[in-house]
Structure 1
Amino acid sequence: MNSPKTPVSPALGRVLATVSVGFVVTQLDVTIVNIALPEIGANLHANVAGLQWVVDAYTLAFAVLMLSAGALGDRFGARRLYAAGIVLFALASLACGLALDAPMLVAARALQGIGAAAMLPNSLALLNQSYGHDPKLRARAVGLWTAAGAISIAAGPVAGGLLIAAFGWRSIFLVNLPICAAGFLATLLWVPRSDAARPASQNAAKTDASPRGIDLGGQSLAIVALTAFVAAVIEWRPLGLSHPLVAGGFVLAALAGSAFVVVEGRTPAPMLPLSLFSKRSFSAAVLFGICVNMTYYGMVFVLSLYLQRVRGYTPLQAGLAFLPLTGGFLISNVASGWVVGRFGVRVPMIAGAVTAGLGYGLLHLVDASTPLIGLLLPFLLIPSGMGLAVPAMTTAVLASVEARRAGTASAVLNTARQAGGAVGVAAFGALASGSAATQIVSGMQTATAISVGLLVFGGVMSCLVHPQPHSSTSTRREADSARVGNSR
C-alpha cells in the first residue's frame, strides 16, 4: 500500500543542513589531509610511520571517544554535545595550522578527533529525533546527510590541492574555521532542544529511562586496546614483529580488549551495551561498516603515496586524479535513500559491496606504468558501491534500536567504522612503507586483494540484515517494550 510522502518542512530542512555541517568537516579532513601528506612529511621531516600517525591520531581519538560522546548526548542532550564538538574542532584545527613539528601536529589532530567524536554521533541522533516519525523520510534524510559528507569528500582533494598550491599545507586545517563558525551559529538558531524535537510519547519514554553515565573503566580500556593495536601495526614493518614494542603492543591490545569485554558485561552502565549485538541486523551492519572503512581509509592513504611518490604528481594534480574516486559518492548517496525506501536496506548493501569489490579488484591490476585512464573505472566503481551501501547500513542501525538509544547506537556504528579506518591506515600503510616505488606499488596491490576479501565478507554480512527498515516512529511500542526492538 502506498502512503503519501510526509512533506519536509523548512524547519526540518534547516536541522538537516545544520547537522550535516559536522559530517562535512569531519569528512573534509580525511581527503584534504591525505592529499597534503607528502608536503607535511617534507616540511616537518616525517617518515611514512609519522604520516600514519598524523592520520590515525585523529581517527583513533574519533573512534575511542565516540561511544562516550553518544552516552553524554543521551544524558545531557545531543544538541549541547554537538555544539561543543564544533567549537573544539575549530580550536584544534587552528592548532593544527600552527603546528611547528610532527608531534605537535599529531597532538592537535588527536584534539580534532575528540571534537569529531562529539559531533558525529550526536548529529545523527539529532537527525533521528527530527525525522524518526517517518521511516521513508528518515531514509531520504540519511541519504542527504551522507551526501553532504560525500560532497566534502569529493571537494577535499581538489580544494586541498588548490589551497596547498596557493597558501601551503597549513591552510587545509584553517579552512575549517569559517565552516565551524557557521555550524555553531546555525545550531544555536535552528536546532531545537532535544525534548522539543520529540513527540510527547517519546518525551515520556525518555523521562522513564535512566540516563547513562560515563564508563571510565571501559573508556580507558578501549583507549589502551585500540591505541596499542594500531601502534603495533604501524611499527611492525620498520621494527619487526619480534621487537619488544611491537610484540608488547599486540599483547597489551589483546589483554586490554579482553578486559574491556569483561568490564562492559558487568558494569551497570557500559559505554558499549553488549545487548545491542544480540540484534542480528545491528551486528551485521556494524561488521559491514568496519569492512567498508578499513578498505577505503587504508586505500586512500596508499593511493596518496602512489599518486605523488610513484607517479610524481603535485598535490593539485593528485587532487584532480582523486576526483572520480570521491565524486562517485554524490549520485549513489542520494540514490541510496530512494533505493532503501523502495527495496529496504539489504539490496543496496549487497549491491554496494559487490560494486566496490569489483572496483578494488580492477585496482589490483594497476602498477607504476598504468596510464591514468586505467584508474578511472575502479575510481568510479569504489565510491559508487560505497555510496549506495553506507546510507542503507546507517538506516539499518537506526531502525534496529529504539529512538532513545539512537545516540548510543550511532556511536557504536561510527566507533567501529573509525576503528576499522584506523586499522586500515596502519595495516595498508605498513604494506606500502618505504621510499622505493616498487614497495609502494607492491603494497598497494596486496592492499587491494585484502580489500576484495573484506568486501566479500561484508556482502555476506549484508545477507543477515533485516531487509526492510522498521519504523522507529512507533514510539509507544518502543517505549513500552524493548522486546520489540530486540526481535527485529
Structure 2
Amino acid sequence: MVILDVTIINVAVPVIGRELSASLTGIQWITDGYTLVFAGFLLTGGVLGDRWGNRRVFCAGVAVFTVSSAACALAPDAPVLVVARLVEGLGAALIVPGSLALLQQTYPERDERSRAFGVWGSMAGIAASAGPLLGGVLVSTVGWRWVFLINLPVGAACLMLTMRYVERSPRLPGRRPDWPAQCAVVAAVALLISALNEAGRRGWADEAVLAGLGLAAVAIAAFAVRERLARSPVLPLSLLRSRAMSGGAVIGLLFNFAFYGMVFTASLDFQHQRGYSALSTGLALFPAAAMTMFASVLSGRLSRRTGDRPLVVSGMLLAFLGLAVWAAGGSTLAYPLLVAPMMAAGFGTSFALTGSTATVMGAAPGSRSGTASAFFNTTRQVGSAMGVAVGGSLLASATVYDTGLRTAMAAFALAYLTAAGLAWLCVPSKAERA
C-alpha cells in the first residue's frame, strides 16, 4: 500500500489538479505532502517499534493509513486532500520500519534474510509497476477517488493477516522518542521540500527559496547536535560512523531521487506535452516499473554468490546509462526510443535495492533494527520527495521545455552514477560480508 500510493498518484495528479483547480505547486504538494510526513516521522516510527513492539506499531500504522485513505477519497478540495495525505504519510511512517524489522527478527541467518529482503523488494516492485497502470485504469473508468478507495480492502486484509500470522515482537521500554530531535528532522524535511517545490514558481535564486535551503541545513545541524547530547538518541551517531550504514542510506536516497523523480517528470511530459490520457500514461510508464517485479528477487538470489557490491554497482550503472540516453535525446525522442531507458532505470533501481537494504540492516545490532530500517527508509523517502520537487521545478522554471526535461533527466542520471561510486566504496564485498 505504501509504495502503491507513491506511484499510483503520479498518473492521477494531473486529473486531480484539473478537477480540484490545483496549481503545479499544489499538484506537487498532493504528491510530496505524503512523502514529506512519511520521511519526517520514519525515525519516530522506528523508535516506537523498538519501544512498543514492531508488530503493534505496524498494525497501528496500517489502521491510520487505511482511515486516512478514505478521507483522501472523500476530499472536496485540494487543501483537504493535502491534509489527508499528510495523515496518510504518518501511517506509512509507522508501517515501513516495522516491516523490515519484523523480517530481521524472523530471518536471523544472513542468506535467508537476503532472500527475504528480495521478496520484500519485489513486493515493492509489484506495487511500483502496478501503480501507474492501475492508476490510469481507475482514473479513466471510475474516477481518481478510487486511487485511494482501493487501499481500504487491502488495509483490512493486511490487519487480519498480520494479527493471525505474525508473531509478537519484543519490546524495549527504555527506548524513548527524542522529540526535540524529531522536530528537527520534520523541520529539515519540510523546509527542504518546500524550498525545492517553490523553486519552480519563484526561481532558484529567490530569497525565500535560498532561505528555506539555509534553514534546512540549520535544522540538520541542530539534529546532529541534539543526537550528540541526548541520553537516548533516536539515531545514535555511532551507527552513522559505520561506512556501510551511512553509505547505504545515501545510496538509497540517490536512487529514489532518480527513479521517482524520473517517473513524476515522465508522467507530466506524457500528459502535458505528448497529450496522453491517464490510462495511456500508465501504460507508457509500465516498462519502467515492470522491471522492478523480478529484479529484487533476482538480486536476492545472486547475492549469495556474488555479494551485494557487484549487484548495487551494476544496477546503478545500468540505470545511469538509461537516463543519460533520455537526457541526450530530450523531448525529441519518440516513445519507442524511451522504452529501453525506462526499463534500465526500473531494473537498475530494483536490482540495487536488495543489496543496499541488506547492507544497512546488516550494519545495525538487532536491538536497533527498527531504527536502522527507519533511517534507511527516511533517506529513501527524502530522495523521492526531492526527485519530485526537482523534476517539477526544473520543468516549470525552464524557458524552453526541452531544456528543462534534459536537465531533469541529466540530474537523475548523475544521481545514479554517484550512487554507483558510493556503492563501490561502502557496500561490503562478499569476502568482507563473510
Which category of TM-score, normalised to the shorter sequence, fits these structures?
over 0.9
1:40 aligns with one of 12, 16, 19: 16
1:479 corresponds to which residue? none
**Displacement of 1:212:** 1.5
Which sections of structure 1, spanning at least 5 residues, go unmatched? Answer: 1-24, 196-205, 472-487
The answer as to whether partners of 2:46 and 2:374 remain within 8 angstroms in 1 is yes
> What code does the residue aligned with 2:423 have?
S
2:177 corresponds to which residue? 214
Alignment partner of 2:331: what SS? coil
1:430 corresponds to which residue? 393
1:362 corresponds to which residue? 325
The answer as to whether partners of 1:135 and 1:469 remain within 8 angstroms in 2 is no
Distance 1:398 1:111 in 2: 27
2:137 corresponds to which residue? 162
> What code does the residue aligned with 1:184 have?
L
2:403 aligns with one of 442, 460, 471: 442
**Displacement of 1:309:** 0.6
Distance 1:102 1:366 in 2: 35
2:428 corresponds to which residue? 466
Aligned residues: 433
Distance 2:80 2:397 in 1: 24
Q: List 4+ stretches of structure 1 deviating above 4 A.
A: 241-244
Structure-2 change in CA distance of 1:343 and 1:90 (3 Å): same
Which sections of structure 2, spanning at least 5 residues, go unmatched? Answer: none
The Cα offsets for residues 183-231 of structure 1, whole Å up to 9 and x where unpaired, read as 0001111111014xxxxxxxxxx8xx77320111001111112111211
The answer as to whether partners of 1:354 and 1:455 remain within 8 angstroms in 2 is yes
1:481 corresponds to which residue? none
The Cα offsets for residues 88-107 of structure 1, whole Å up to 9 and x where unpaired, read as 00011011101111111111
1:389 aligns with one of 352, 362, 382: 352
1:4 corresponds to which residue? none
Matches within 5 A, 1:36-185: 36-132=12-108, 134-185=109-160
The answer as to whether partners of 2:45 and 2:57 remain within 8 angstroms in 1 is yes
The answer as to whether partners of 1:333 and 1:391 remain within 8 angstroms in 2 is yes
The Cα offsets for residues 68-123 of structure 1, whole Å up to 9 and x where unpaired, read as 11000001000000000000000110111011111111111111110000000101
Alignment partner of 2:159: what SS? helix
Matches within 5 A, 1:248-259: 248-259=211-222
The answer as to whether partners of 1:356 and 1:385 remain within 8 angstroms in 2 is yes
The answer as to whether partners of 1:366 and 1:374 remain within 8 angstroms in 2 is no
Taking structure 1 as the reference length, the TM-score comes to 0.86
The answer as to whether partners of 1:400 and 1:470 remain within 8 angstroms in 2 is no
Matches within 5 A, 1:311-460: 311-433=274-396, 438-439=400-401, 441-460=402-421
> What code does the residue aligned with 2:410 have?
A
The answer as to whether partners of 1:299 and 1:444 remain within 8 angstroms in 2 is no
Distance 1:278 1:435 in 2: 40
**Displacement of 1:250:** 2.3
**Displacement of 1:469:** 8.8
Taking structure 2 as the reference length, the TM-score comes to 0.96
1:193 corresponds to which residue? 168
The Cα offsets for residues 241-272 of structure 1, whole Å up to 9 and x where unpaired, read as 55453233223222222211111111111122
Structure-2 change in CA distance of 1:100 and 1:435 (3 Å): farther
Distance 1:154 1:42 in 2: 25
**Displacement of 1:166:** 1.2
1:309 aligns with one of 249, 272, 281: 272
**Displacement of 1:44:** 0.8
Structure-2 change in CA distance of 1:469 and 1:302 (3 Å): farther
Distance 2:60 2:155 in 1: 11
The answer as to whether partners of 2:261 and 2:412 remain within 8 angstroms in 1 is no
**Displacement of 1:421:** 1.3
Identity of aligned residues (%): 38
**Displacement of 1:167:** 1.0
> What code does the residue aligned with 1:451 have?
F
Task: Identify which range, 443-452 or 318-327, moves more after superposition.
Answer: 443-452
Q: Over aligned residue pairs, what C-alpha RMSD do you find?
A: 1.8
Distance 1:233 1:300 in 2: 17
